[in-house]
Amino acid sequence: MKFHHLSPEEGLEFILPSSENKTSTSITPRIPEKSSYEHDMLRVCVAPTVWQCLLSIPRCGILYIYRVETENITKPLGKVGDIDHTHEKWVTDKGIIRSNGRIELINIGFIDKTIFLYGGLLNCKDQNKLPLPPKDESCIWDVSDDGVWTTNLFS
């Protein structure tokens, strides 16, 4: 199955179990900073599309887009308030171990998540006006030759 993960870290190549030391090219499952009411399971959050990832990220700035292809994911545990919009899934230590100890991250570009984009996504979410997930994300994104993604969602 294909999922996406967004990170402010450039050059990531793998998701490793939390028992491994994080390197400059890897991430490990953790509890996200802004998840005080969510389950305390260590995880890497993924979603089916880039725009669904953007919905759940509270920060702005450059975010690198990684594709994650694995069958070894789990449904979130506990209360995840935006799951109806994000369709978030988790990569956990158990899933990583079932994937021979690491899951590849494939960098497919980056996006500059501006205040405008963040505010627009939240406004759509709050009004329950999000579009259905497109079969082809090119319905929403323009990708330039240098890998910069821009949205057509609000045009």
> How many CB atoms sit inside 10 A of residue 134's CB?
12
The upper half-sphere exposure of residue 43, i.e. CA atoms within 13 Å in the direction of its Cβ, equals 20
Residue 30, pLDDT above cutoff 70 = yes
Q: Provide the pLDDT confidence category of residue 155 given band limits of 50, 70 and 90.
A: very low
Q: Is the pLDDT of residue 149 over 60?
A: no
What torsion do the CA atoms of 88, 92, 98, 103 make, to the nearest 10 degrees?
70
Across 34-43, 81-90, 119-128, 132-141, which has the greatest mean pLDDT? Answer: 81-90
What the block records as the tokens of 102 is 């690491």
Determine the pLDDT at residue 133. Answer: 47
Residue boundaries of the structural domains of the chain: 2-151
Smallest CA-to-CA distance from 56 within 118, 108, 131, 3 is with: 118
Which one of 42-51, 76-85, 96-105, 126-135 scores highest in mean pLDDT? 96-105
pTM: 0.77
pLDDT of residue 118: 53
pLDDT at 151: 53
Q: Exposure string (b/e) for 100-119, b if CB count within 10 Å is 16 or more?
A: eeebebeeebbbebeeebbe
CATH architecture of 2-151: Alpha-Beta Barrel (3.20)
The pLDDT value given to residue 83: 76
Cα(85)–Cα(34) distance, rounded to whole angstroms? 17
Compute the Cα dihedral for 51, 56, 61, 66 and give only its sign. negative
